[in-house]
Chains A and B, each alone.
Chain A
């Protein structure tokens, strides 16, 4: 066939559980086959078009993308194509209307919607397989022709099925009857015929049945794949083919035309956005720099403003400025982060509180022009108040103009195994078992190999299909979900730009594109995120103001400069509750890295991540830092990139830059690399860059090992990317929280406890740590506590009183009632509490938490009293004597007190359980956590404690880190793979563990390398202490 062909009806896997190819695969294959255009028409969706568009651009494919959608209304099936931008807006509006009428995942068109698709080209799909369908067609035919005239076509599909001859004849009749031109359509669902089994599996998943039971409901053949031109020439008439080509030529709309406008209402009349931004920055600079900005700073500001103006990003900065001003007005603490957030402009606009003079950041801290990235600013808000910011945005811009970006939820290994397995007829129990087995710590190897080990016969045909199909379906989109906080806000209605649909969460709407799509089209989104630590810091500031009359802010603390005493505390790894550096892995790194200044913290936060660990960059960095290894650079260019991290790449930006300077990646390629990193785990896209990276580096004279390590690090970043710009902002919060912990431990503890749940530690663990720091923790008391925990300061004496909030089953409303009616002298008896209308159940929880200790007997007898139904009869209401009956029950023992504390509050107010066990003569030989630092390196020891953490980081090659808590502190236990495997029973299930092992000291870090593990969980049978697992 000499001519060419345009496929006008193609559904990708964004027609969920129907299309069996990615949009990229479809355009890629169509270009290979020599198609001149391809219309991506997912069902009531344009979610896949940006991917196809970006792929065409990135690969410079000689094919045109037509944006369209497949819509069903009653019996009517239509393919709608967008020849122009206005037609595209119409389609987006119609999709939005149809989607917004229904719950997530469904749509409902109306006749009116169809009438408004004036600018679109419509291809009518008919089959005429039943009389009912033919009758409906008779009605729709004239209607469609009346409304669309020349823009209406009849689609001719050649699927080589058993109905075809009649269907073709029927179409011919309709075409002649109403003078509608026929056009060739592939109705494509797959980019190659080899996807047929996957398409069958998707159909089975959709219908909730097995493939073998679906019979003729499955596609009969693979004709709905992209077909070669010569085959098409045999199937369709020249006229039908020519029409498709002619329609494609009339479609001139390109997604690049979408120029999106940020809201201009933030710019006062008479000013340009640029002028307004400049004046705000000037105002801010005067405030920030107490008058006039120093000349060097002013020069940076001018440079940054020029760059912003050049890219037209002013409204973006103005929008974020507006949002943070709202937060400021409402006293919501926030902090900006990201590459652009660390600019002086953002400091002046009060988006960040990091004084650029104090933090002498050496890195390029602004929009990267050569990488063609949009400015990256995420703003974190106090997690307990983020919703207020959301509501402000909705209120200010309206739901028409503001929506959340989507997150595409894709098939991952386990979901893929489950769905494919069911479709192939595997039993639920069998699948459950396989999936659970994959959870195993020492899995290792490929998942297929693991299943074979579990007894799946690799020779059986069905199992081979299972292996292949699971791999194929991985990365397939399953549904759209909402992004954590990425807002798209526009000048005009958003639905003219992209369809908006309902999210699962009530009152939330999402657009049909995710953040990568937005980035590809250079549309800006504002990330409004929630951060628990900001709540804790804000609470700390308020408490400082109240109890110490210090008015202080994040900016004030950073302005004070690096405080050696705060850093001394960090170097000792005394960081429970400190932002980002409180995890076990971070704690073991602190004494080795010994941070001395802000930038050290930036590195500290970024280094304990899968990227640097997998790239084997941690030890070289530490050796160089300690002067044990010379700092060398393979080349001048690499030196520029890696100088501030002593020649060792630590940050995500650095490896990307190394790829550019050392492997010769262009800006565009680097950008693709960055995106592939983000999707690595999902799609495995990174492998395509490996050869290019390594070849490029070898060609430029770098050694193979260095290249391989850089690649491994890139893979590591893929699992958890961590750019320097974010680390820099987090380091500020880490420092501020450490500063508060050091100087105002009671205040910090109280604020942290009131901001739970957040961070790594439970209230109990925070309390244990506070006690080790000699903080006086006062128990919940019916006569003194408030709902939240509070700082009590009397002269020099400072303490923290726990609040009612930690009592399980005691409501805030009851606490309010109890506090509001509390006599100044306090309650005197339980009956008094009765009279204030507290429910029996809630009183019982108060009794069990020992909050009634001051006015009643022990907790068992108080609860016993409260349970007496007779006491609540009106007859006895005023008779207090009845309440004061004899103790019937034995008072709790020490261990019972502890158990009750855990059961009622999750916090132990008494002695540590280990203390009781020691009193019973157990673990008399065991060293305490506090004694370990005195043991010599290599000494054999026995230790015992509650298992409070089991971490088995993927980067640690099967090593598991156990945290044992005893009465004096936490002990770090390293369990090697072989040890764990040999003693699985104790290793996996013990809650109270005795470990015989060897002490290891290394640069201030003390570990015990486990030898024998002995499970003593039965010694504390009822102890309710949830071990926290991290995988």
Chain B
């Protein structure tokens, strides 16, 4: 089943929800009472959620609802924002990532991130992917490094398109290829978790379909958390969905349940397009 075909035949918004992944997975990330403040402004009001291992979890909700803020707590990217403060506890494999003795650099190697806008470095395609392995010393020889780069590009379904021009700049690729390059770059450091912050919002429908297909493949090996504005996308790629509104986690559950039988009225209103 290809996602591109889904888009063409997708007349009713949520007709194509994938067979839900019903077998219970162990919890990979456990967030408890997470609050985020930007200066005096509170952006997140105590969010508690379990993210299961090797599953795609989608965060949906209207703009400014705190879903991206919450996502950025998982790799502590909020630390880079002046005046941002995080309270609460986030356990990754039962270790608090906000513990004082935790090395942020090590954490970010385990929790990769793909951004809204493709952001390849102004380097060659090869160097873009080799960047992470190089700084973390993941490859001892040149041959090993090449292997890591090639495997990562293959996993990101980009290798066949770029194998003859690995030395050309990554910025010369198309938008969708750039985004898959960024995914390859994140995979290259062998993370456990991949965070995706609206990864398709800058892409055209065909590139979007390819990235969605890739996300579905990656789920076999990685825990994926994706923030998206598109409810169709959440329905297509995720097994679990969490709905955020005004800094609160309103409802969270298996994707097919959230989209067909939501418990909360606000969720119902949002997914049927009554506000948003």
Whether A associates with B in a native complex is: no
Which residues on B are within 8 Å of A, measured CB to CB?
none
